Every structure is written in C-alpha cells, then in structure tokens.
Structure 1
Amino acid sequence: MKLKKPKLEPKVSAGSMADIAFLLLIFFLVSTRLLQDKGLMLQLPTDLEPTETPIHERNLFKVLINSKNQYLIEGQVRSDLSGLVEEIKSFVKNPNSNPTLSESPEKAIISIKTQRGAQYASFISVLDLIKESYYQLYGESVGLSSDEFRKLSKANPSELALYQKARKAFPMNISIADPDKLK
C-alpha cells in the first residue's frame, strides 16, 4: 500500500501585502496634485488704531443684499444687477459734476452690506461687478480694454507705468460692511 502524501495547497503570502499597499498609498499621495481653493483676493486692513474719517453721504454708493438675495442699490429695490457697472463708473467718474454723484474718484466709496442669510453667490456677483467697473475705468484711462488692463505685466516697466497711472486716477475704494443680523 502506498502512502498518500498530503496535498499542498498553494498559498499567497499576505505578509508583504501591507507593505505594498503602504508604498502604493505613498506613491499616489506624492504623484497626485491636490486641488487648492484660491479664495477671494482681498487685502485685509492692517491692525491699526481705528480712526474715524468723515465720509460725506454724496461719496458713498450703497449696495445692500438682504437674506432673500434681493438688492437695494442706492435706495432702489432690484431683482437683478443689470446696469450696475455703468452706474458705478458714472458715480466714480462724475464727468458732469453732478451733485448726486461723488465729488472725485479719490473720494468715491462703494459700500457692500449683506444681511445674514444672504448667499455668497449674491455677494460675489456684486463684488465682481464692482471690480469689473473699476477695471473698465482703469482700461479706459490708459486706452485699453478691461481684459487688456488685467493682462498688463508689472515686470515690464512701460506696462507698470500704465498700471500705476490708472490705479492712481481711480483708487478702488470698496467697503465691505459686517452683515446685519436677521430679526
């Protein structure tokens, strides 16, 4: 009688599987680009003693956003933002010395105020239009479009001079007020 040999079943060594999985994890973490949120490019004020400077009502262009994302622009209720860019440009420039518009571009302040509950998208839309109106003013003052002005290279001395000239003529004075509480 023959003795039966025990059958050897093939086995996979799982001891090194943890090492391989760890190495793959490190490889993918190093080789994958993670998305980074850019956020808003806003320059926050420095930590100085608060000083109150008188602001004439004439030099203040007010935009309010309520919790239902409705706009109150210069005392007029609006459901959309059409025409806001042109209104801001004429407010800041005041080409005909209109007494209801700002005294000068240097004194013009655009104020944005929201109520709590207003969507960020509404705030960002208003902020984008305000900045667009200033970029159009900058471009017009140096004979460029707003897109061409944004593409100016500050490394190039002649383009830097155009940039500084436009920014000096129309300082971007935007006030972002703390939101109101809902009642």
Structure 2
Amino acid sequence: MARRESGGDFSASSMADIAFLLLIFFLVTTTMDVDSGIARKLPEKTPQDVQVTIKEKNVLDIVVNRNNQLLVENEFVQVTDIKRLAMEFIDNGGGIGAPKEGKPGEPCDYCKGRRDPESSDHPSKAIISLQSDRGTTYGMYVSIQNEIEAAYNELRNRLAVEKYGRSYNDLLDDYNDNPTESLKEKIDYLKDSYPQIISEPEPIK
C-alpha cells in the first residue's frame, strides 16, 4: 500500500486567533500606572483690559524660592501662616473701594480688619502676588495656592453667614442642586465682595 505524503502547507488562521485572544487577555488584566496629577481649582478669571493704577500697599508679595522657603513682604513665614496673612491683608479695609458703574468707591462696611492705612484699601483692590522659582516644587506651589483660596473662602463664608444665615459653601451646594436666580445673586454678591485677585509673575530663574 502506498504511503501518503503529508503536505507542507498548514492554516495559520487558528494561531492568529489564539495570539489575538492572548493579547486581549493581557490588555484587560494588566494594570498600568497613570499619573493622575493634582486636582486644583484655577484662580477666578479677572478682567485684563482695564488699565488701573495700583498702589504698592494694595499688593501682598508672596515669594517662594528654590529651597521652598516662603517670604511674605520679605519676611520668612511658614505655609500655615499664609491663610491668616492673606485674610488680614484682604479684609483690612483701610480706604476706599474700586468705583462701580461710574459711581465713586466706598469704604468696606463689611470688613473686619484693622483698617491699617499702610495695608490694602479694600477687598476689590487687594492683589495677592505669588512668585515662585523654577526650582520650587509643584507640591509646595499647590499648597500655597490652597492656603490663598482657603482665605477667600473663609471670608466669603463669614459674610454669607452674617448676611444670609448660610455659609458660602452651602450656598454653592444649594445652587448646584437647584440653580435659581436668587441663589446666583447671593453667590455673585459674595464673590464681588471678596474678589479673588491673584497675580503670578514669571518664575525666578
């Protein structure tokens, strides 16, 4: 009986299917490290097309060097001091506020500060200048920003409780759940009373 010779050709389609299934398996089961970054709310947008004269006393200079050392008005401080110093500066109320709709500026009747004539005139004029170094760590920079934002939030919370019986944060939550015009007016009033004005000069080389 004659021997049958086996052919040299074979189908590779099954091998391709197996390889594809293995690839899918490894893609599904493998975990990958992904840099998620840090959740950070950006400073509120401020108008850039208005030309104003800024007094030196209306600017709080915060500088952080490459060693993560903090200077506020050329004095070394800790990160935990930033919130208190920012609140004292913003809420000083030592002069007249920025004019609104052609009307002259008025004193801050809701400010609780010392009304120091050498510090900021009004929350609407108080500018916080934060200058970092190119060697400053990102974590340090974000920590300072968080302290500044906490200062604004606490001032808004205090005014909101006095005027509306609810904190600024509670009003924001209420507005997110039920956005009404009345809530929007209250939130806008609090933001206008303590506008978040932060200047960030170019980092020090």
Letter in 1 for 2:21: I
2:36 maps to 1:18: no
**2:148 is matched with which residue?**
130
2:85 maps to 1:87: yes
**2:139 is matched with which residue?**
121
Aligned-partner Cα distance in 1 for 2:86–2:172: 19
Aligned residues of 2:44 and 2:197 also touching (Cα < 8 A): no
SS of match in other structure, 2:67: coil
What does residue range 31-110 of structure 1 map to in structure 2 within 5 Å? Answer: 37=37, 40-42=40-42, 53-78=52-77, 80-94=78-92, 95-110=113-128
Aligned-partner Cα distance in 2 for 1:53–1:21: 66
Call closer, same or farther: CA 1:43–1:28 in 2, change over 3 Å. farther
Aligned residues of 1:152 and 1:163 also touching (Cα < 8 A): no
Deviation at 1:15, TM superposition (A): 3.6
Letter in 2 for 1:168: D
Count of residues paired in the alignment: 165
Letter in 2 for 1:63: I
Aligned-partner Cα distance in 1 for 2:156–2:44: 22
Call closer, same or farther: CA 1:52–1:117 in 2, change over 3 Å. farther
Aligned residues of 2:64 and 2:133 also touching (Cα < 8 A): yes
Deviation at 1:45, TM superposition (A): 6.6
Aligned residues of 1:135 and 1:150 also touching (Cα < 8 A): no
Per-residue CA deviations over 1:61-92 (Å, capped at 9, x if unaligned) read: 111000000000122112x2223212211211
Q: Which of 58-67 and 153-162 deviates more?
A: 153-162
Runs of 5+ consecutive residues of structure 2 not aligned to the other structure: 1-13, 93-112
User: How high is the sequence identity, in percent, across the aligned residues?
Assistant: 22
Aligned residues of 1:136 and 1:145 also touching (Cα < 8 A): no
Deviation at 1:14, TM superposition (A): 2.1
Q: Which of 105-114 and 148-157 deviates more?
A: 148-157
Per-residue CA deviations over 1:32-61 (Å, capped at 9, x if unaligned) read: xx8865754326979x77x76321110001
Aligned residues of 1:61 and 1:74 also touching (Cα < 8 A): yes
Aligned residues of 1:110 and 1:173 also touching (Cα < 8 A): yes
SS of match in other structure, 1:83: helix
Aligned-partner Cα distance in 1 for 2:37–2:139: 16
Question: CA-atom RMSD, angstroms?
Answer: 3.4
Runs of 5+ consecutive residues of structure 1 not aligned to the other structure: 1-12
